[in-house]
Amino acid sequence: MGYLNSYKKGKFITLEGIEGAGKTTQLAVVRRCLEEQGIAVLTTREPGGSPVGERIRTMLLDPGCKGMVAATEVLLLFAARAEHLAHKIRPALEQGTWVLCDRFTDATYAYQGGGRGVDPERIAMLEAYVQGSMRPDLTLLFDLPVASGLARVGKRSAPDRFESEAEGFFEGVRTRYLAIARSHPQRVRLIDAGLPVEQVSAQVRKQVAGFLARVGR
């Protein structure tokens, strides 16, 4: 089990939140904050992030896969995550590169647990199998009312399989995310994502600066 701690050379930061929370927009802000400190950064996303993972992502988001059962969804997400960890995340962290990931396992607890009603103990079993002791060092949770997030993404092209869900699904997702934040107050930092972009970025910069101070950078 020696590999479990070897990834610790770099830090692993994840961004979470419902659709339209602004994670992708703010990922660039986090990246800039770290690079200003001379830190090498790799940005990536889930589901996806590796060649096999991106193929699994296509299936997961495809509206043509409507009716996929929750167990299949969870297993595909962890299959993609195993590839992502093996081929991208762990090698980067082992080299001392910091990894910034747009969504990770908190999304599985929130979407498949809070949204689809999958037992969190089943998710925890797969988390232990696929990740061992690997967990993010910092998670920024972008929180905003569901209607505001959906209004933002509604301005884009055709909805994917998740975006086609009813508002009640996303209320379940948001509630579970907030519960995760309450259970892990050290790791998960809440960002008020309903504010204008510049004000969200200011909160992000503050949280990243706090984290850098905590880890002595």
- Interface residues with ligand T5A (CB under 6 A) are 17, 19-25, 45-47, 77, 102-103, 107-108, 111-112, 152-153, 162, 196-197, 200
The smaller minimum CB distance to ligand T5A, of residues 196 and 216, is found at 196
The smaller minimum CB distance to ligand T5A, of residues 45 and 174, is found at 45
The smaller minimum CB distance to ligand T5A, of residues 44 and 112, is found at 112
Minimum distance, C-beta of residue 143 to ligand T5A, in the bound complex (Å): 11
Q: Given the structure tokens 């002791």, which residue do they identify?
A: 133
Please, which residues have CB within 8 angstroms of residue 199's CB and are 6 or more apart in sequence?
A: 192
Q: Given the structure tokens 């990243």, which residue do they identify?
A: 208
The smaller minimum CB distance to ligand T5A, of residues 102 and 137, is found at 102
What count of other Cβ atoms lies within 10 Å of the Cβ of residue 198? Answer: 7
Please, which residues have CB within 8 angstroms of residue 8's CB and are 6 or more apart in sequence?
A: 93
Length of the chain: 217
How far apart CA 102 and CA 123 sit, in angstroms, is 19
For residue 91, cis peptide bond before it (omega within 30 degrees of 0): no
Minimum distance, C-beta of residue 216 to ligand T5A, in the bound complex (Å): 30
